[in-house]
Each structure stands twice: as structure tokens, then as C-alpha cells.
Amino acid sequence: MDSSVTAALLLEQGYKVVGVYMKNWSQDLPGMICPWQEDYQDAKRVAVQLGVDFKMYDFETEYRDRVVQYMIDEYQAGRTPNPDIMCNQEVKFKLFLDTALADGADMIATGHYARINNAETGFEGQPQLLMGLDKNKDQAYFLYRVTQPALGCSLFPLGGYEKPEVRKIATRLGLVTAAKKDSQGICFVGKVGIRDFLSQFVTTAPGSIIDQHQRIIGTHEGAIFYTIGQRHGLDVGGGLPYYVVGKSMIKNEVYVTTQLDDPRLWRKEMTLSALHWINNPPEPGHSYTIRTRYRASLINCQLGKPSFDEITGSQNITAVLQDEIRAITPGQSAVIYDNERVVGGGIVV
């Protein structure tokens, strides 16, 4: 629905529009039929309604290599990745962009709820990524690894709209996707749980669940499936709820606690690796805000000086938070903002 309205708005603004469906995944999984054919037909119907040309780009091999394999590798290493962010970095704003430009396009447009500031002031005229107007739907978090040159060739027509208004536009135009629900689950794969998805690609074994008193209180189905702060799915039953505070991939153990104030659940400082800055690196001494997961509240932070990690071969940076944050999770992305502008971010170590 978002992409459909994006195309309609661009037509109203005088752009020549070509609809493109990216075929990134087509494999059915147990209990879930991949919806790619239905999505493709819906996109094709919208193109007919709007009177625009339509084509399909097949990126299935590249998506498996660059997004799915990345996700599997991260989970096997005991981390919790965000495949949507990697999809934006590697597929939408790299592979798709390059393919579209080579195919004769001048720019690409997506239905993301984010904004691009192309003002000539600041950052030597570089495009800047800004939060979407609708703070409940803002998706700038997922775009922090997009490069500045890619932003210069991109359009986000929905960034200045709120979601209910976009759906009203789709209804007013009679688009066949007007009532289509937002996609759920892993990007392009469909509404499937991460456990069900990973089970198709990794081998797991039962292991021990150990509480804060070093007692074995239950058995898990594989440490790979658990993440910091998780409460549901432990199946240990009785008494106070348990929260995951850590795990060992080598021992195949999951560590839990019933204490909400357990220091392993809370952090006021974190290290970020695989740094990416859209325009310029953060300024020393400047105050920024940080978001540690999608929809998490922004919190004030102070950033240290970047340091080189000889093991990973990349720069790291330390973020000291104004308040302690619960369940900061290795592998997730922490995104840094300067008011509404996305500065960049990195992966939590």
C-alpha cells in the first residue's frame, strides 16, 4: 500500500514513474506459503491502475547471500541481527539502486516513512536523512546505513505524511492495495517467526536454562533462539517471570533471572562497531540522542573518541547514556540522531 501511494504521489508531482517488483524470496517454509506471487500481482494491478510501466528485478540469489546468510551467521555467533537494516544497505539502496540507474532511471523512490533534506545549507549541500513526520511510523532507524550518495538518488514521498493519511489517499484513489495490511516478519520472506525460519538452516540441540543462583531450572531448544531481555518462550513455569540475561553458544546454555534489577539486564554504556556515518562523523563534545532498537525511546548520550579494533579491523565508539537502558542486545543496531537528523550508528558489541 505504501509503495502504491508513493507511485501515485510521484505521478501527481509530474515524475515519469516505472513500477518495479523486487523478487527477493520465493521459498515456501513449513506452515507458511511465501506471498511473493500475490504481492507481485498486487503491484502489477496497481501499475495498470496508475497507467505506468511495470517490471520485475530478480535479486533472490543476492538476497540469500547478502541478507539471509548474514542473519544466519549472526545468530550462530550468539548475536541478534536486524535483517531489515542489512536489506536496506545491501539490496534496496545498493543493488536495486545500481540496477535501476543502469536501467535508465534517474532516481529510485520507496515507501519509507523518512525524509531527505536536500537543502544547500549544511554539510556542503549533502543530502541528510531525517525522521519521518509520523513518529509512530518513522523508519529512519532502518536506513542509518544508507550512504549519502544513495540518498542523493532517492525519494521518500511518504516522509511528510502520517500513516492514516496515506491509507486514506489509497482509498480515495481506489488502489487495489488500499486495504492491504503492512508486511510482517522478516523482510520479503513473509509472516514467519524467526525461530521457524532459522530452524530451516541451522542444527540445534537442547541445553540447560540456568538461573541467577546457578541452578538448572529447565531445558531450551537451542541457545541460538534466545535474546537478551526475552521473557516469553522459556517454558520454565511457576513463580516469578524469568528474563534472559545472557547465553553461551559454546556451552549451549541460556542464563535467566527473576530480578528485574539484575545488572546484567541494564547498561548505561555500550560499544558500537561497524560504524557508519551518513554525512560527517559525530563532533566531539556535541550532545546527541540514541535509539537502541526500533520504536525505543530516544535517550541523550555522549560519544567517546573512535578507537581501532585490531581483531575486527574496524573502528569502535563508546556511547555513554544519560539513563540505564534495559536489554541492550549484541548484534542490534544503535542509531544516533542530532535532533531529527540521522547521524549514523553502529552494531552493539
The 10s digit of each residue's pLDDT in 189-205 is: 666 778 888 998 999 99
The model's pTM is: 0.93
pLDDT band at 342 (very low <50, low <70, confident <90, very high): very high
Domain ranges of the chain: 2-194, 203-257, 266-348
**Which CATH number does 203-257 carry?**
2.30.30.280
Q: For residue 93, how far is the Cα from the chain centroid? A: 13
- Reference 59, options 83, 106, 94, 107; nearest CA is 94
Is residue 301 part of the annotated active site? The answer reads: no
Q: What is the pLDDT of residue 185?
A: 61
- Residue-wise pLDDT tens digits, 282-334: 998 899 999 999 999 999 999 999 898 887 778 999 999 999 999 999 999 99
Among 34, 153, 187, 301, the active-site one is: 187
The pair phi, psi for residue 108, each rounded to 5°, is -115, 155
Residue identified by cell 526500533 is 294
**Numbers of helices and strands, H then E, in the chain:** 9, 17
**Which CATH number does 2-194 carry?**
3.40.50.620
Is residue 34 part of the annotated active site? The answer reads: no
pLDDT band at 28 (very low <50, low <70, confident <90, very high): confident
Q: What is the pLDDT of residue 35?
A: 87
- From CA 19, how far away is CA 9, in angstroms rounded? 13
Q: Which amino acid is at 153?
A: C
Rounded CA Rg of the chain: 22
Among 34, 87, 153, 301, the active-site one is: 87
Q: Which CATH architecture has domain 266-348?
A: Beta Barrel (2.40)
Residue identified by cell 563532533 is 283
Q: Could you tell me the three cell numbers for 295? A: 520504536
- From CA 127, how far away is CA 154, in angstroms rounded? 10
